Each structure stands twice: as structure tokens, then as C-alpha cells.
Amino acid sequence: MWGPCTATGGCPAATITLSACFSPADAKALMGRFDLCKTYPATIQREIQREKLTECYQYDTLYEHLKKNPSGVTMALVNTQKNRERDDYSFANINLLGKCNTNCFFCLGLDLAGVIDDQNQLAIPFAEWKNFETFLKKCKDNRIRKIYITGQNTDSLMYRCLEQLIDFLHAQDFAVGLRTNGYLALARMELINRCELSAGYSIHTLSPVTNRMIMGRDDLPDWDSIIPATQRPRVSIVLNRCNKQEFFELLRYVAKFENVRYIQIRRVSTDTRNDLLMPDMVVYEEIYSQVRNIFPLKRRFATDAEVYEIYGKDVVFWRTIKTSVNSMNYFTDDTVSDMYFIVEGYLKYRTQC
């Protein structure tokens, strides 16, 4: 899907040589999505224009203008080194593989594009998943009780045997939670509320235009109905170049729901696309620097996670690779990983097979 750029001509002299380049189809699709936002604020339009592609599908200098931003955040200050000091295992993930009902440009599944593209177990009963019993035994051996059903390149609520899977895990004395984009939440609310652990909703924008840029579709889940109907909701917001202008408005919106006790602000995570997603990491650090100067810090946990009180809620700034939490991971193509780092663990297992 991508690799070292071997092009020797066609790149403007001003282009910075990056460590990886992207297929023409992927790059054009991504930029085409940003082009849809003609009515977005001029500041964002200028930022989008800075991401224009060169003939070898590399990117021009990214966010050069942010080197002079008021908070002093620059790309050089974005730490992408992983914290290898992990805590004891505290939870596990079941990472479903299949086609998704959205197309988020920062999706971690895109780190494995070309590797998992042909995998789809959304209609396969979990009794037929290879190595699933091995995974569950590892969880029990490591005293892991919390299991979250999520998607590596899909959404958990799209799994056809979800009800049976939840009941099976409960019967095995596991506590179950879900992570979802919310598009099927109203239709599957009974299952969501059957789970003992939280339902994690990804809410990145309230704007259809911005949603098209981020998730590839114009319509939005009916959060005004979904969140009140959910018994144990939590919300994750992935800060990125598209939603930074509405971040505090979005945070205020989520904070109005009394049953939401925890809001997680996530930095994009990637093992293979740092050059493409660096602007989004810069946005995260820029907003974080504003928050820490305005709102009170309540506590720290998992080494790097900081909890601030904003609009009456606990808001956690979460850099996935910098925290110390630890988890096991199962992928429905039979991959079992004892690593918290999703992509690295997956590839390590597959290369050993």
C-alpha cells in the first residue's frame, strides 16, 4: 500500500522528502474528501490546501505555519516514541475485522491496509473463530476480566452474532463493554445496555460537513436520543485538523448529558503514517497546551493521562502510545497478541506464523 518513495522526478523542489509515500488511489481519495469542505472556515481551508499532493504522492511541508502559533507548539514537540513500560494487564480487546459503515481518515485499521483488506468475519459465528478459546484462556490466566468488543477496521455493532457473543462472555464470567461509532446504537440499544461495562461512543463533530471530512459520510448519529438511552456511556473525541475549531463547542455539548461521566480526548495513533497524520498530532498538542493553561488539573494516571475538570466533567487527554495501561488483543482472523500496541502486536504475530 505504501513504501519508500523511489520517484526521482516530478516532485517540486520545495517538497520535503518523507519516509513513506502513499498509493495514488488512497491519496487522491483522502484529499478529495477534504475538497468537499468548500464552505468551511477560511483558516481550515488554508490548512487543507497545505496538504496538496505532489506528483509522487508525497506531501508538501506540513503545518509550517503552526511553528509560529501562539502556543508555541511545533512538529518537533510532538513525541511519537512509545512508552514500553507497561502496567499489568487490566483489560482485553476483541478486534473485529470487516467492512465498516464509516471511513475515518485516521482509522488505525489503515495502518494495516493491504494486510487485512480481505478479512471479514462479521457474519462468522464466534464459535468458528480460530484461537478464540486460546485468547480467553490467556485472559483468565492473566486475571483479565474486562473485555471490550471493538473494531479494527469496522464497528462492533455490525457483528451479526453480537448478542450471542455478549451472552457467551458473560457466561464465562467476563465483564463486557463496547466501542462504537454510534450509527447502529439506537437499533441495538438493548444489547448495549446489556453490557456490564461502558459503551464508548466516538463523537468527533456536530457538523455534517466536518463529518464528511472525518468519517466519509454526511449524516450524524442521533446523539440527543442515543446518549440519554445508554446506561453507561463514555465519549471519545479524536482531535484532528478538521474539528479543532469546534472542539470546545463539542465538549460543551457532550458535557450537558448528566450520565456521561468521562470524556476522553484522544491523539491520533499510528505506526506507519506519521507523516500523513502529523498535522493532527500537532493540533492535539496545540489544544492540550491551551487546556492546561486554563482548566484545573485534577489528577494523573497511567503515567501520561491527565484529567482536567472542564464544564463540570472529567476530561482525559489520552496519548495512546504514552500511557502505561496494558491489554491483550484478539483479532477475528485468529491473531492473538499479548501487546497493547495494536498494529505492532498484530504484525509481530503474523510474521511468526
Report the chain (353 residues): mean pLDDT per 10 consecutive residues: 30 27 45 42 42 29 35 62 94 98 94 93 97 98 98 97 98 98 98 97 95 93 98 97 94 97 95 87 93 94 94 96 96 96 92 78
Check: CB of residue 259 under 8 Å from CB of residue 199: no
Q: What is the pTM of this model?
A: 0.80
261 CB-near residues (< 8 Å, 6+ apart): 234, 313, 314
Burial 110-139 (b: 16+ CB within 10 A, else e): bbbbeebeebbbbeeebeebebbeebbebb
At residue 58, the pLDDT reads 29
Residues of the chain with CATH 3.20.20.70: 91-352
Check: CB of residue 155 under 8 Å from CB of residue 182: no
At residue 67, the pLDDT reads 35
241 alpha carbon, distance to own chain's centre: 14
The CATH code of the domain at 91-352 is: 3.20.20.70
